[in-house]
């Protein structure tokens, strides 16, 4: 018998096709609100900045942003690099990204309305792959596949940097602290907060919209994809960043 890590889903969570369609519907509906409010959250801004700092984008580099939204990372990075391919499942988000790029006079970002799961890029053609607050929406097997794909797109010495909510299902002290602090925050909001606890508990237990996994699981996925110098950095509350480098050594 094999044991199941404590942040492995307890409930079935649909096929990739069903999840992609659900994400597209949800984010098309919420694109404009995300675009307006993402910059208001000091926590989210900190994670974006940490992804940029850990990725250290440099002049001449080719970058891919997985789940770019309306450009929170892509447009931040574009001015210092050669090009950014910005990918999102939601056509509405890509529309906003393009609008924001035009408004900022940025011309080196190519938006692609395609799910990460279907993205096809040339092997070893990218210097830096980044992603922020996206991969917890993917099923666990699709998270691991996305990390493997990204490792394949990176040239030797290229970096993968993932920022996301990272916690498991109560298996360690950090998980329990995060879950307790979220519940407490919502309890303090009164009846509206109690409703959100019920809604989020359902989503969390059945892993419908959000499927976070722990920092340790992310580190494991990076290492299994052959990335080296893998590090996990807690940033704020439940958010953390994981960084890995494509080895420059030929693998035996």
Ligand X SMILES: C[S@@+](CC[C@H](N)C(=O)[O-])C[C@H]1O[C@@H](n2cnc3c(N)ncnc32)[C@H](O)[C@@H]1O
State the residues that interact with ligand X by CB under 6 A. Answer: 20, 23, 27, 34, 38, 48, 67-69, 72-73, 87-90, 93, 115-117, 132-134, 137-138
Distance from C-alpha of 226 to C-alpha of 205, rounded to nearest angstrom: 31
Q: How far is the CB of 2 from ligand X (least distance, A)?
A: 28
**Are 239 and 163 contacting, i.e. CB atoms less than 8 angstroms apart?**
yes
Pairwise CA distance, residues 68 & 64, whole Å: 9
Cβ closest to ligand X, residue 6 vs residue 41: 41
In the bound state with ligand X, the residue whose beta carbon lies nearer, of 48 and 178, is: 48
Rounded CA separation 51/152 (Å): 20
| Nearest to 165, CA basis, from 151, 154, 152, 179 | 179
49 Cβ neighbours under 8 A, 6+ residues apart: none
Nearer to ligand X, 96 or 232 (CB): 96
The tokens of 68 are what? 């770019």
Min dist. Cβ of residue 248 to ligand X (A): 29
Name the minimum Å distance from CB 8 to ligand X: 20
Rank residues 112 and 176 by Cβ distance to ligand X and give the closer one: 112
CB of 212 to ligand X, least distance (A): 12
The label of the residue with tokens 């492995």 reads: 8
CB of 190 to ligand X, least distance (A): 26
Tokens of 113: 């309305």
Q: Which is nearer to ligand X, 176 or 206 (CB)?
A: 206
Q: Tell me which residue has tokens 């794909």.
A: 149
């Amino acid at each position: 018998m094999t044991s199941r890590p404590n942040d492995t889903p307890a409930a079935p969570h649909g096929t990739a096709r069903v999840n992609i369609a659900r994400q597209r519907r949800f984010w098309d509906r919420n694109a404009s609100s995300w675009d307006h409010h993402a910059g208001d959250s000091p926590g989210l801004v900190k994670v974006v900045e940490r992804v940029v700092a850990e990725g250290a984008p440099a002049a001449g580099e080719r970058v891919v942003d997985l789940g770019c939204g309306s450009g929170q990372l892509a447009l931040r990075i574009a001015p210092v690099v050669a090009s950014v391919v910005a990918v999102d499942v939601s056509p509405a988000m890509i529309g906003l990204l393009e609008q924001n790029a035009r408004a900022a006079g940025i011309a080196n970002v190519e938006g692609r309305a395609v799910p990460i799961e279907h993205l096809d890029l040339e092997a070893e053609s990218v210097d830096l792959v980044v992603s922020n607050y996206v991969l917890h929406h993917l099923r666990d097997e699709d998270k691991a596949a996305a990390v493997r794909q990204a490792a394949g797109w990176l040239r030797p010495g290229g970096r993968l940097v993932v920022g996301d909510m990272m916690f498991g299902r109560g298996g360690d002290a950090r998980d329990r602290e995060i879950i307790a602090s979220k519940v407490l925050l919502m309890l303090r909001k009164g009846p509206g907060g109690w409703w959100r606890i019920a809604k989020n508990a359902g989503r969390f237990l059945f892993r419908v919209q959000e499927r976070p996994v722990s920092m340790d699981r992310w580190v494991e996925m990076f290492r299994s994809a052959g990335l080296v110098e893998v590090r996990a950095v807690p940033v704020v509350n439940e958010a953390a960043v994981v960084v890995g480098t494509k080895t420059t050594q030929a693998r035996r």
